[in-house]
Amino acid sequence: MQIDLSIFSTKARPLIGLDVSASAVKMVELSGGAREGFRVERYAMEPLARDVVADGNIVNLEACAEAVRKAWRRLSTPTRNVAMALPTAAVITKKIIVQSGLREDDLELQVESEANQYIPFALDEVNLDFQVAGPAPSSPDEIEVLIAASRKERVEDRVAVAEAAGLKPVVMDVESYAALAAFDLIAQRLPGGGNQIVALVDVGANSMNLTVLRNLQQVYTREQAFGGNQLTQDVARHYGMSFDEAEAAKRAGSLPDGYEAELLRPFVDTMALEVSRALQFFFTSTQFNQAHHIVLAGGCAVLPGADEAVAARTRIDTVVANPFAGMALADRVNARSLLADAPSLLVACGLALRRFDE
C-alpha cells in the first residue's frame, strides 16, 4: 500500500491534529481561518501508560491505538482525517541548493540524488519529502530546497496506530515544525515585537527542550533530561505509591497537604534552575547574550508558581504558552480546562493548523 503522506502540504479540509507524546494522546480540531480568526471546535487528551511510547518510539501499538480511539470518541466529531508528527530526532532535515527552473520530475531526481549524500540509509528505506524554500541567497540561478527524511518504520508505526483507531492520516509533520507553527500564534501576542529573542521551553514527561528564536527564526536548540516524571517518582517514593498511582493522584490534585511544600516547590525550583542552565549554554555558545521572553510549554508549565520561579531565577519575562489565546471557543469547549491544558497542546494545535495550509 502506498501511503500518500506529505510533511509540507495539505489541502484545506476538516482535519484533527493528533499528537502522540510520551505521556498522552492529544487531539485538537480548529475551524475558521487566519483572516476571520480561528475557533477551537473540540479537543481531547487521553493519558498513556508509561511504557507505551519510549524515546519517541511507539512500543505498544495496541495500547496506543486504544488511547487514540478513546480520545477521538470523546471529541464527538465526524472528522477522521488526522495530521500526525514524527519526533524531531527521527527526521533528518537539510537545506540543499539546486538549479532553478527545473521541471518537477527533474527536481525530484535532483533532490533524490542530493539526499543520498545526507541520509545514512538506502532511499528505499525512507520516506522522503521536499519543499522549495525560495531563491538561493548566493545565486539568482539557484533555489534552496528543504528536504526531510525519516525511516519508513517510524512513519508506518504512527500510520498503523491511527488506522487501528479508525482514523485516516493525511499529513505527517515533524514535532518541532508543528510546535513552531503554534508558537507563531503566541509570538504575535508578546509585547515588543520586532527583532526579539524568545526562548520556547517545553518541559514534558521525560525531557526539556529549549528552542530559541529570533524574528521567529530558530537560532538554537537544546534538549536535556529533565521532566515531570521526576516529580511523579518523588511522589511515588515519598507516599509509597506505584508510579501510575502517583501520576493519577498528581493529575487529580488529591495528594496530602504537605505535597506542595515538601515536593512540588523544590521540583519547581529545580525546573527554574534547569531553564537557567539551558539559557546559559545558549549564551556561551552563540553570539547572543540576552533573551527578551521565555515561553513555558509542556505539562510542567502549569505547575503552580512555575512561571514566577523561572522569571525570578532568569530575570527574564516569562509567560505560559497558550496558542488558543484570542481564539473563539465552541460551546462544547471548557475555557478553564483548555487554559490548563494549552501548554501541552502546542504540537496538536500546530498539526490542526495544517488544515489551513495553502
3-state secondary structure of 268: helix
Band (138; pLDDT cuts 50, 70, 90): confident
Residue 5, in any domain of the structure: no
**Would you tell me how many other CB atoms lie within 10 Å of the CB of residue 337?**
11
The domain tally of the chain equals: 3
Are 169 and 146 in the same domain?
Answer: no
Are 35 and 168 in the same domain?
Answer: yes
Residue 41, in any domain of the structure: yes
Residue 10, in any domain of the structure: no
Among 21, 40, 17, 15, smallest CA distance to 344 is for 21
Q: What share of the chain is helix, strand, coil (3-state, %, to 5)?
A: 40, 30, 30
Look at residue 10 and tell me whether its pLDDT is greater than 60.
Answer: no
Q: Of 104, 137, 152, which closes a domain?
A: 152
Alpha carbon distance 272, 241 (integer Å): 26
Taking residues 151-155, what's their average pLDDT?
A: 88
Residue 148, in any domain of the structure: yes
Are 257 and 316 in the same domain?
Answer: yes
Taking residues 305-330, what's their average pLDDT?
A: 96
Are 211 and 71 in the same domain?
Answer: no
Task: Tell me which residue range forms the domain holding 143.
Answer: 90-152
Where residue 254 sits, what CATH number does that domain have? Answer: 3.30.420.40
pLDDT at 350: 96
Q: Comparing 238 with 195, which gets the higher pLDDT?
A: 238
Residue 8, in any domain of the structure: no
pLDDT at 346: 96
Are 228 and 352 in the same domain?
Answer: no
Are 202 and 114 in the same domain?
Answer: no
Are 136 and 169 in the same domain?
Answer: no
pLDDT at 127: 86
Taking residues 37-47, what's their average pLDDT?
A: 95
Average of per-residue pLDDT values in the chain: 90
Find which of 7-11, 12-16, 278-282, 354-358 is predicted with most confidence, using mean pLDDT. Answer: 278-282
Are 296 and 147 in the same domain?
Answer: no
Of the candidate ranges 153-157, 193-197, 198-202, 207-211, the one whose mean pLDDT is the lowest: 193-197
Residue 125, in any domain of the structure: yes
Residue 7, in any domain of the structure: no
What pLDDT digit, counting tens, does each position of 234-257 carry? 999 999 999 989 988 988 888 998
pLDDT at 193: 65
DSSP states of 156-175: HHHHHHHHHTT-EEEEEEEH
Band (1; pLDDT cuts 50, 70, 90): very low
Taking residues 55-81, what's their average pLDDT?
A: 94
pLDDT at 194: 60
Taking residues 20-42, what's their average pLDDT?
A: 93
| Distance, CA of 127 to chain centre | 20
Residue 313's H or E segment, with its range, is: helix 306-314
Residue 6, in any domain of the structure: no
Taking residues 4-15, what's their average pLDDT?
A: 60
What's the pTM value of the predicted model, to 2 decimals?
Answer: 0.88
Alpha carbon distance 54, 8 (integer Å): 26
Are 300 and 214 in the same domain?
Answer: yes
Band (230; pLDDT cuts 50, 70, 90): very high
DSSP states of 227-247: -HHHHHHHHHHHHT--HHHHH
Look at residue 4 and tell me whether its pLDDT is greater than 80.
Answer: no
Q: Which neighbouring-strand residues pair with 169?
A: 82
pLDDT at 270: 97
Give me the phi and psi of 221, to 5 degrees please: -145, 145
Are 173 and 49 in the same domain?
Answer: yes
Give me the phi and psi of 101, to 5 degrees please: 80, 10
Where residue 129 sits, what CATH number does that domain have? Answer: 3.30.1490.300
Find which of 28-42, 95-109, 149-163, 271-285 is predicted with most confidence, using mean pLDDT. Answer: 271-285
Q: Which amino acid is at 319?
A: V
Are 230 and 147 in the same domain?
Answer: no
Are 145 and 25 in the same domain?
Answer: no
